Amino acid sequence: MNMKRRVILVLVSVALVFSFAVLTPGCNFIDKKVFNKTPSFSSEAPKDLPAEFSILADIYRMLQEDYVDKGKLDPKKLSQGAAKGMLQALEDPHTLYVDPEGHKLEMTALEGKFQGIGAVITIRDKVLTVISPIVGSPAEKAGIVSGDKIIEIDGKPTSGLTLVEATLTIRGPAGTPVRLLVLHEDASEPVEIEITRAEIKIDSIVSEMKGDIAYIRITQFLKSTGNDLRDALKGAIAKGAKGVILDLRDNPGGVLDASIDVASQFLTRGIVVDAVDDDGKHNQLRVRPGGVATNIPLVVLVNGGSASASEIVAGALQDYGRAKLAGSKTFGKGSVQVVRELEDGSSVHITKAKWFTPNGRPINGTGLTPDFVLDLKGDDMVKWAIDYLEKLIAVQVTSAEA
């Protein structure tokens, strides 16, 4: 099988940004592979495939001979079904096949807008689960929160759906409704929630001054996030900011380069993340020089919806002692996916490696434990962070005067 390779984009997400939101947290390296395939089936498996794969050709021939409704034998649909089933057999929710429509949606969403309800989902313990709603989205306004389990979509069970299927089912034109049967974490019975879809525009950076403290929230790591953060930090420093709150709560991840750029605004040197493949090969991504906030007092807010790129940034800042983490334990998605595009516009997500913090801490399945474990929500968490920074700044000023 001849192949021609062209690199499209290198991404991380411990959430690949997808149509109705982000499918799942994960580090993703997206490549394009164009396969020159012949449409004919052979009774003999290609030399680079195990002999067991010949049963696929055998099954297709049997269908051609015996199936009662041969008009349904669409080779395209059948091959996509075989690809989907093969990857599902691995029982890895992050290794999956995405059809052309789904792949187009996931790439479009990286530009920062899409039509849907605005939520981030994954499959956890074989249940469709919300990682986080997007700030200001219809999902958030309807009461969807981190940890919600989606049992049904428009009356149809979600059990057995892949992440892509669930995403495409929940997606839809702006102004149309979708009914979700949702089990909240603290509830014993599910509730039905009807949400009207809308065009979701994602502002990666939300910033404001709270006295002399700069509050900066990163909602997702998009292509523009690094530059937007740099501009926000420069503006805050020009306004006399003496400390920074970096809010990564309910941030499911995004673009790899953005996570490196974000960490680099606060660090002067060192490794940001270390990806290790099955052969033990290390791919270490390092701090980029020129950060504009490498000395200013900093605190990072995290919770169970902080995943992927968020955990990369938070883990690096924690390891180097650059900032304390406050909040609750993070999501714990520390695997790397390579995403390869096929000639028909579909793609395959393949788990390729696991990533570790600069100090070698594993994240997958464990997450990051904050330095300050706090059961505070919303603005109460921000108020705590302001108080923490003001005390830290006061100590530094006293020490400098002494």
CATH number at residue 186: 2.30.42.10
Q: Which two tokens stand for residue 173?
A: 């034109």
pLDDT at 111: 63
pLDDT above 50 (res 35): no
Q: Is 54 a catalytic residue?
A: no
pTM of the model: 0.72
Q: Provide the domain count of the chain.
A: 2
Residue 80 lies in a domain: no
Catalytic residue among 84, 149, 242, 333: 333
Domain that holds residue 395: 205-334+355-401
157-170: b (≥16 Cβ within 10 Å) or e: ebeebbbbbbbbeb
Structure tokens at 59: 């099954």
Do residues 194 and 214 both lie within one domain?
no
Cβ-contact 288, 261 below 8 angstroms:
yes
Mean pLDDT of the chain: 85
Q: Which of 169, 201, 233 is the last residue of a domain?
A: 201
Q: Is the pLDDT of residue 43 over 90?
A: no
pLDDT band, very low/low/confident/very high, at 110 (cuts 50, 70, 90): low
Higher pLDDT, 115 or 183: 183
Active-site residue, 319 included:
yes
Res 353: pLDDT? 85
Res 47: pLDDT? 66
Residue from 146, 308, 328, 346 carrying the catalytic annotation: 308
Between these two residues, 27 and 97, which has the higher pLDDT value? 97
Catalytic-labelled residue, pool 319, 346, 347, 352: 319
Average pLDDT over residues 382-393: 97
List the single range of 8-17, 143-152, 222-231, 371-380 with lowest mean pLDDT.
8-17
Q: Name the nearest CA neighbour of 4 among 44, 32, 43.
A: 32
Q: Are residues 254 and 288 in the same domain?
A: yes
Note whether 237 and 290 are same-domain residues. Answer: yes
d(CA 249, CA 301): 6
- The answer to whether residue 133 sits within a structural domain is yes
Q: Is residue 130 part of a domain?
A: yes
What pLDDT score was predicted for residue 8? 30
Q: Which of 153, 168, 201 is the last residue of a domain?
A: 201
Q: Where are the beta strands (DSSP E) in 134-241?
A: 149-153, 156-157, 177-183, 191-196, 198-201, 205-210, 213-218
Confidence of residue 4 (pLDDT cuts 50, 70, 90): very low
If you search the block for the tokens 């923490």, which residue do you land on? 388
Residue 323 in this model has a pLDDT that exceeds 50: yes
pLDDT in tens, 186-216: 899 999 999 999 998 877 899 999 999 999 9
- Is 333 a residue of the active site? yes
- Sign of torsion over alpha carbons 128, 129, 132, 137: positive
